[in-house]
């Protein structure tokens, strides 16, 4: 049952159920800076915006939207350049995505929201916490949201493994897509033929955006001092077996952001919201509700 649900999530299949039911998920569009942004909206209460990772879209939150919408007003955004949102030929970077996010909130009449980001989406959320803290309530960083460390030495060349993973991030064949998603998931059985086909199609639609994000370098990156200045209440969630982003990144963020709390989810890879949705939803809900009785590890 869980496997079929995860496949549906990755396929972007979110049925618009019960159109007469208040707060039921609905797919919408809004114009920001002259471009169309697509999003899924559900629930009522305090606003929460879900931000997907590189090459993804709002379907990455299908196991979470309805659950979180029981307590919150949820917006799952196709970030500019991804999914069904417009894809301007621009120099994409984290700062640009954060700019569109801030204007998106204005467009949907939300003055302040909590941000929940996975991977690249966590980077966008953290950038917003640094540069526009006044529009944030709470912050959840899942397997992403790093910062640069000043170094007196020249950057070291990327290893062959790192270069391969960079290539796979912008996969253009089924073989590459399968290899990449076997890195993302701890449970390799989740990488089915159907999922590979759907994810390849999704990534090809955003290939230009992915390439530009890869080329961005330090544009839109954050310094350690900037991250240490974050005052927004922050929860850091990481899959213990994340093969893409070292789980020690959670420790680094916890040490940098005063008062932040960390949760490590066992038997889980880079996308805990999909691989372990029950645990992820519980930790995020409790944090957004201001509860503090959270363990540091989920098994």
pLDDT tens per residue, the chain (299 residues)? 344 444 454 444 344 333 335 568 999 999 999 999 999 999 999 999 999 999 999 999 999 999 999 999 999 999 999 999 999 999 999 999 999 999 999 999 999 999 999 999 999 999 999 999 999 999 999 999 989 877 644 556 778 888 888 899 999 999 999 999 999 999 999 999 999 999 999 999 999 999 999 999 888 899 999 999 999 999 999 999 999 999 999 999 999 999 999 999 999 999 999 999 999 999 999 999 997 544 445 54
Say what the pLDDT of residue 126 is: 98
Of the residues 38, 52, 186, 270, only one is catalytic, namely 270
Q: In angstroms, rounded to a whole number, what is the distance separating the alpha carbons of residues 181 and 9?
A: 14
Annotation says 270 is catalytic: yes
- What the chain holds in terms of domains, given with CATH numbers, is 23-147+218-298 (3.40.50.1820)
DSSP string across 173-232: SHHHHHHHHHHH-SSGGG--HHHHHHHHHHHHHTHHHHHHHHHTTTTT--BHHHHHT--S
Contact in structure between 132 and 64 (CB atoms under 8 Å): no
Q: What does the pLDDT read at residue 56?
A: 97
How many angstroms separate the Cα of 44 from the Cα of each of 23, 69, 234, 280, 294?
A: 6, 7, 22, 20, 25
How do strand 26-32 and strand 35-42 relate by DSSP bridges?
Answer: antiparallel
Angle at which helix 193-205 crosses helix 174-184, to 10 degrees, equals: 100
Distance CA 81, CA 97 (A): 9
Supply the pLDDT for residue 295.
43
The tokens of 285 are what? 């809900």
């Amino acid at each position: 049952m869980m496997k079929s649900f995860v496949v549906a999530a990755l396929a972007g299949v979110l049925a618009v159920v019960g159109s007469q039911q208040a707060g039921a998920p609905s797919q919408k569009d809004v114009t920001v800076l002259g471009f169309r942004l697509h999003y899924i909206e559900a629930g009522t209460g305090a606003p929460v915006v879900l931000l997907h990772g590189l090459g993804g879209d709002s379907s990455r939150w299908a196991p979470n939207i309805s659950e979180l919408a029981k307590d919150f007003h949820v917006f799952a955004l196709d970030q500019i350049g991804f999914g069904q949102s417009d894809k301007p030929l621009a120099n994409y970077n984290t700062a640009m995505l954060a700019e569109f996010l801030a204007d998106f909130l204005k467009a949907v009449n939300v003055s302040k929201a909590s941000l929940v980001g996975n991977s690249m989406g966590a980077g966008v959320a953290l950038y917003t916490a640094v540069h526009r803290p006044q529009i944030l309530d709470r912050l959840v960083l899942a397997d992403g949201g790093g910062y640069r460390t000043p170094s007196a030495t020249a950057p070291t060349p990327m290893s062959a493994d790192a270069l391969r993973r960079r290539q796979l991030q912008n996969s253009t064949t089924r073989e590459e897509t399968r290899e990449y998603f076997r890195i993302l998931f701890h449970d390799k059985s989740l990488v089915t033929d159907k999922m590979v086909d759907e994810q390849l199609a999704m990534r090809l639609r955003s290939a230009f955006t992915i390439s530009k994000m890869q080329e961005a370098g330090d544009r839109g990156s954050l310094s350690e001092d900037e991250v240490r200045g974050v005052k927004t209440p922050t929860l850091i969630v990481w899959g213990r077996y994340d093969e893409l982003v070292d789980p020690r990144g959670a420790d680094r963020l916890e040490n940098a952001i005063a008062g932040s709390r960390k949760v490590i989810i066992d038997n889980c890879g880079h996308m805990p919201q999909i691989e372990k949705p029950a645990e992820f939803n519980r930790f995020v809900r409790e944090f957004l509700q201001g509860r503090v009785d959270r363990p540091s590890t989920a098994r």
